[in-house]
Structure 1
Amino acid sequence: MSDTNRRAFLRATGLAGGLAFAGVAAGQDETTTASEETTTDEGDDAGLVTVESDGDFEATVERIRSDIEDSADMTLVTTVDHAENAESAGTDLPPTTLFLFGNPQIGTQLMQQSQTTGMDLPQKMLVWEDGDAVNVTYNDPTWVAGRHGIDAPGMVAEQVASVLRSLATGAE
């Protein structure tokens, strides 16, 4: 899917604004939700979804940045280049970039249900290189909801998960 079509898809479905709504259903056991996507609920990576990108690191970072910035519903709060920060401290880190983004209207609704949700908002998406692989990791919406006791319809959680997956992978 071209970048233009992907952005049009996110806008047309009206789901792009739901990205900050990550965390809208009950908890989830460890599962594999797609061949290249893994969600966990135990250990150090509790509640994280990781997908492998088809693109190289820079292309993946730019695609995600563009999709967020081109969305009428999302706000890019900041981008953190962890590798650049490591270099400024005289250490090395493989390419690692964090995006903080969201939709204040949706996020506020979540925090009205549970103010502690503010610990997980705005939404975060990490692009990181591990050897030859480029990965994208984000918080599983169902895990976040369970963490904060948020009760929301499963359909909304599925839509948010779909949008996050689309943003992470660049696919519909």
Structure 2
Amino acid sequence: MTDTTQLADTGLVTVTADDTVEATVQRITTDIEETPLNLVTTIDHAANAADADLDLPPTTLLVFGNPAVGTPLMQGSRTVAIDLPQKMLVWADDEETKIAYNDPMYLAERHGIDDQTDRLEQIRSVLDRLATGG
């Protein structure tokens, strides 16, 4: 993986992957399945677009989480549930594969969560490992 960027105004962390969208989605899915995380669903936006006779380059959303980790955040601020479970978007951008996810610290600021720093750092670390394969 190369080229990690964070857009402070959007709260998105974006990573450039070294593989195809399909291979990257498979790697992330396998990594999720090897952790205490639950893969809730995978949405293939390109396939859905094709079903509507529209064209969209490969674009897949993975939705996953761990209630033992996310629920305390919701107990602190119920509105964070709009952003949970976690999501990771994998898409083709010209000749590159990109991965994006919400920065947990941004979500904490957005929802007024100020007493969960250790938990948020743990989430950030897991998301980074999933995105980079590290």
Q: What is the TM-score when the length of structure 2 is the normalising length? A: 0.93
Match of 2:17 in 1: 53
Letter in 1 for 2:31: D
RMSD of the alignment, in Å?
Answer: 1.3
2:56 and 2:24 mapped to 1: Cα distance? 18
Gaps (5+ residues) in structure 1?
Answer: 1-34
Letter in 2 for 1:158: E
Match of 1:37 in 2: 4
- Is it true that 1:69 corresponds to 2:33 in the alignment? yes
1:36 and 1:64 mapped to 2: Cα distance? 18
Match of 2:70 in 1: 107
Match of 1:135 in 2: 98
- Is it true that 1:94 corresponds to 2:57 in the alignment? yes
The question of whether the paired residues in 2 share the 8 Å contact of 1:48 and 1:138 is answered with yes
- Is it true that 1:144 corresponds to 2:107 in the alignment? yes
The question of whether the paired residues in 1 share the 8 Å contact of 2:57 and 2:91 is answered with yes
How big is each residue's C-alpha offset from its partner over 1:103-138, in whole Å with a ceiling of 9 and x where there is no partner? 011111110000001000000000000111000000
For structure 1, which segment, 159-168 or 87-96, has the greater mean C-alpha deviation from structure 2 after superposition?
A: 159-168
SS of 1:83 mapped into structure 2: helix
2:58 and 2:41 mapped to 1: Cα distance? 17
Match of 1:124 in 2: 87
The question of whether the paired residues in 2 share the 8 Å contact of 1:57 and 1:134 is answered with yes
Letter in 2 for 1:119: I
- Is it true that 1:160 corresponds to 2:127 in the alignment? no
2:89 and 2:131 mapped to 1: Cα distance? 9
1:160 and 1:123 mapped to 2: Cα distance? 9
1:58 and 1:81 mapped to 2: Cα distance? 10
- Give the percent of matched residue pairs that are identical in Structure 1 and Structure 2: 55
Letter in 2 for 1:40: L
The question of whether the paired residues in 1 share the 8 Å contact of 2:73 and 2:116 is answered with no
The question of whether the paired residues in 2 share the 8 Å contact of 1:79 and 1:97 is answered with yes
Structure in which a larger fraction of residues adopt strand: 2
The question of whether the paired residues in 1 share the 8 Å contact of 2:99 and 2:131 is answered with yes
Letter in 1 for 2:85: P
Number of corresponding residues: 133
